[in-house]
Structure 1
Amino acid sequence: MSPTRAAGLVIFRNMNQAVQFLLLQTSYGQHHWTPPKGHVDPGESDWVTALRETKEEAGLSEEELEVYKDISKELHYEVKGKPKIVVYWLAKLKNPDNKVTLSDEHQAMKWLPLPEAQEISGFEDMKQLLADFNEKAKTKLE
C-alpha cells in the first residue's frame, strides 16, 4: 500500500528576538494542533501542495514568507492503519504582524514559543521536528 502524501510549512515569526511557531487547531476529529498542511493532489508536487495549503488554511501567500527550501523534514506515521508521509519546510513570516486568516478546516490558531508549541502538538515526531526547526529558525532571526 503506497503511503498518503501531505505537505506543509512550519511557519515562525520573530517576536522580540524570539521564535514563535504558528499552529492551527482542526475543527474536526480530535481538534489537534498542527502547522498548515494538506494532502498532495494528483499531479501536484509536495512543494506546490505546501504553498497551496498554507494559503488555503492560514491565508498566507509565498510572497509573505521567506521559505527555506533547504530546510525540510519528513514525518512518517499511520492514520487509521494506513501509512502517511508529510513533508514540512521551514518558513519565516516576513512581517510578524501579518494577519492569519483561518479556513473552515480550523477553529483556532496560536503563535507559540517552542515549549508550548511542543506541548499542544501532542505527537513525539512533531515535537522533535519543532525542536530541530527551532534551532534552525534561531539562526534566521536577523
Structure 2
Amino acid sequence: MSVKERAFGFILFRWKHGTAKVPEFLLLKANEGHWSPPKGHPEKEESELESAYRETEEEAGYKKEQLKVYQQFERSLFYEVRSRTRPGETVLKESKYWLARLLNSSDPVVISDEHTQFVWEEVANAVKTVKFTDLGGLLTESFDFISKLEE
C-alpha cells in the first residue's frame, strides 16, 4: 500500500520550570479524542518543514522564531486512516516529525479550535497519554536524543 496522506509536525519539548534539563513534551487533544504533538497536512507549494512550522503556529500558537529545530532528528510514523476524500476507504498515512525545543519555556500555548486541551508532560506520562505504541516509542526516542544534547 502506498502513502496517500501525509502530515508534518514537531515533537515539541521545553525544559521543565525550576529543573535542570528535564524535558516536557507538548501534547494536544484533538476534538476526536486522541492526543498527539502538533502536526497537519501540507498546503500547496509548501515544503515539509514549512508545513510543520505553519501547523505548530496554527495548533499551538508558536512561531518559527520561538523554536529551535533539531533537523538531524527526523522520524516518520506510518499507519492506516480513513480516507479524507473517499469515506469508507482506508489509506496509508505518513506523519513526519522533527524534534523542536521551545526557546522560552514560559511562552503560553494557544490551542486552535481543532483541539480541546493541551498538556506538557515528562516522557513517562506522555507515553501513557498518547496511547498509540508507535507514537509512544517516538517520544521515548526523542527523550533519549535530548538526554545526549550538550546545551
**Corresponding residue for residue 11 of structure 2:** 10
Residue in structure 2 matching 1:139, options 142, 145, 148: 148
**Are 1:69 and 2:39 matched, yes or no?**
no
**What aligned pairs does 1:84-123 form with structure 2 within 5 A after superposition?**
84-123=93-132
CA–CA distance in structure 2, aligned partners of residues 139 and 43 of structure 1: 35
CA–CA distance in structure 2, aligned partners of residues 22 and 104 of structure 1: 17
Q: Which amino acid aligns with 2:80?
A: E
Identity, in percent, stands at: 38
What is the root-mean-square deviation of aligned Cα atoms in Å? 1.2
- Residue 62 of structure 1: how far off its partner (Å): 1.0
Flag the structure with larger Rg.
Answer: 2
User: Which secondary structure does the structure 1 equivalent of 2:28 belong to?
Assistant: strand
Q: Which amino acid aligns with 1:102?
A: I
Task: Note the residue ranges of structure 1 that are not aligned, 5 or more in a row.
Answer: none
Task: Note the residue ranges of structure 2 that are not aligned, 5 or more in a row.
Answer: 83-89
CA–CA distance in structure 2, aligned partners of residues 59 and 140 of structure 1: 26
TM-score if structure 2 supplies the norm length?
Answer: 0.88
TM-score if structure 1 supplies the norm length?
Answer: 0.94
CA–CA distance in structure 2, aligned partners of residues 138 and 11 of structure 1: 15
- Residue 118 of structure 1: how far off its partner (Å): 0.4
1:109-139 per-position Cα deviation (integer Å, ceiling 9, x unaligned): 0000011100010101101100100111223
Query: Where in structure 1 do 4 or more consecutive aligned residues deviate above 6 Å?
Result: none
